[in-house]
Structure 1
Amino acid sequence: MNYVHPVRDTDQIAEMKKYLQRKSERDYMLFVTGINSGLRISDLLPLRVKDAKKTYFDLREQKTRKQKRIEMTPGLRRELKKYVDGREDDEYLFKSREGLNKPISRSMAYKILREAADYVGLDGVGTHTLRKTFGYHFYKRHKDVALLMEIFNHSDEKITLRYIGVNQDSMDRAMKDFKI
């Protein structure tokens, strides 16, 4: 599996949002929900309309099997409210066009994100980029690695910093400034 990166540049995030919004409301909402919640793709895809009608996501993580409650940002709540208006509670939030009521597949989510990343000229993007982008910008804003570690269920701060690419940023800066 290839290593994927967060989207660090907020202008690129905005361009990806615009691209996805023009393409598909569902694809746009997948991106927006992912970068504003920090949920893994395996926890995003099973969400249903009823899950988006609350002010938080309440779920059992697929990977860790831990129960988790994530408060939605006010902006995400507004976007989701518009998105789910008039839809049935049992409908999947990111519904596939195939079948009666199935979520999109992980591979379809990857394809959606790769297409948007290609549009803005980004490499190293995959489904995990959503979670890493959330983590990177959360850390940059709050500088609270302990809280982010808790959100991600990581066991060590070093793991969290490496995971969101902050250590990579530091190494890149150090190498740019290095000369003998």
Structure 2
Amino acid sequence: MARHTTNLTGVIYRDSITNEKADKTYYIRYKDENNMTVELKIGKYSEGVREAYCNAKRNEILTKQRIGEEPPIIAQRKKREILSIQTLADEYFSHRAEKETKINDEFSYKAHILPFFKFYDLNRISKNDILKFTNHLKEKQNLNTKKPIAPKTINNILNLLKAIIKYSLKNDLIRNDFTKYINLLDIDNARERFLSKEEIEILYDKTKKDEVAYLFFKLALSTGGRLSTILNIHKKDIDFTHNLITLKDFKNNSTYKAFLTKDLKELLISKIQNISLNDKIFKSNPGKRLRTILDDLFNMEIYKDDRKNKVVIHTLRHTFASHLAINGTPIFTIQKLMNHKDIKMTLRYAKLSPDSGREAVENLGV
């Protein structure tokens, strides 16, 4: 490709071909702040670039050098530098509250997202790149079990990537919204297990001497509150006059009311009499002990990865809603008591309702 000088200092061009036709590609040459020669491509004749334009760009750069400012053309080139996932993740996590979920997400990011996208320019991510990432997660093994990563875990990873990019878009850190290409996996692992009345009695009987565990199980089965919700109950949240308790729903970022049963009220009166108004009723997280109790009582013959039938802490919330439905509680009342934002979350309990159609089927006589 022949190189030609022009009548303008520092403006040159090289012969080129565009769409099988002869063309010129223009460059400018100048000394940078370190007295090194820089040759910068400006564009092609076929694109409308002319020698006078190149000369103006060169003079602009030289003028900016003299007054100590960065020339626009250099600034534009810097904007085209690779936008790394680490840059966006640092910003995202720096604005996340210091909670256990943040620690878990940071670990997940470093283990799964960073290794794959480390050398990608995020402004150039395509639909195909996201598909490759999703397939990569499907083929990856869990380091502990040596089994494929669970679909739910894959969805958590994809949702974390989506959250990082949505935050970056909102704060003008990225232009390429590739979250539209992120599709979650279909999962059929909704928990179906709930405790029967007999099992609830067994649970209470086995934990009656464990003040903390017994109170937690009573709260969970009487209010349907999640683990984080129950552990965040303060003395000031309890209204014995109206037999109400204010619960914080961290998933939906809202508060709602639950009703105190007679047994639960008596337990709480005894529990909070020696603590101050702003104290939590649980001083520490008994989660590990609670899981051990549930495992010993109900999971001895259940596979560890059997999400449908394994009894976990969240099963208590599921039990609360299931027995409401069995007792004929209207579905919208269950939605209110569970603080579900979407009625679809509550409708799965409708099949347990007395008017679900069971009696009609049993009376068919076929």
Tell me, yes or no, whether TM beats 0.5: yes
2:236: which partner in 1? Answer: 50
1:116 paired to 2:304: no
Q: Percent identity?
A: 24
Residue 38 of structure 1: how far off its partner (Å): 1.4
Instruction: Note if contact 2:232-2:248 (Cα within 8 Å) is conserved in structure 1.
Output: no
RMSD, aligned α-carbons: 2.7
Instruction: Note if contact 1:20-1:28 (Cα within 8 Å) is conserved in structure 2.
Output: yes
The within-5 A match list for 1:1-180 is 4-22=191-209, 24-52=210-238, 54=240, 55-96=243-284, 104=285, 108-109=286-287, 111-122=288-299, 123=302, 124-152=310-338, 153-156=340-343, 159-162=345-348, 166=352
How many pairs does the alignment contain? 155
Q: Which is worse superposed, 43-52 or 31-40? A: 43-52
Give the Cα–Cα distance (whole angstroms) in 1 for the partners of residues 204 and 313 of structure 2: 15
Instruction: Note if contact 1:16-1:119 (Cα within 8 Å) is conserved in structure 2.
Output: no
Structure 1's unaligned 5+ residue stretches are 97-103, 171-180
Residue 48 of structure 1: how far off its partner (Å): 1.7
Q: Greater share of strand residues, 1 or 2?
A: 2
The structure that has the greater radius of gyration is 2
Higher relative contact order (CA 8 A, sep 6+): 1
Residue 75 of structure 1: how far off its partner (Å): 2.3
Letter in 2 for 1:113: L
Give the Cα–Cα distance (whole angstroms) in 2 for the partners of residues 116 and 165 of structure 1: 29
- CA gap of 1:13–1:45, structure 2 versus 1, over 3 A, is same
TM-score by length of 1: 0.71
TM-score by length of 2: 0.38
- CA gap of 1:53–1:113, structure 2 versus 1, over 3 A, is same
Structure 2's unaligned 5+ residue stretches are 1-151, 153-188, 303-309, 357-366
Give the Cα–Cα distance (whole angstroms) in 2 for the partners of residues 50 and 61 of structure 1: 16
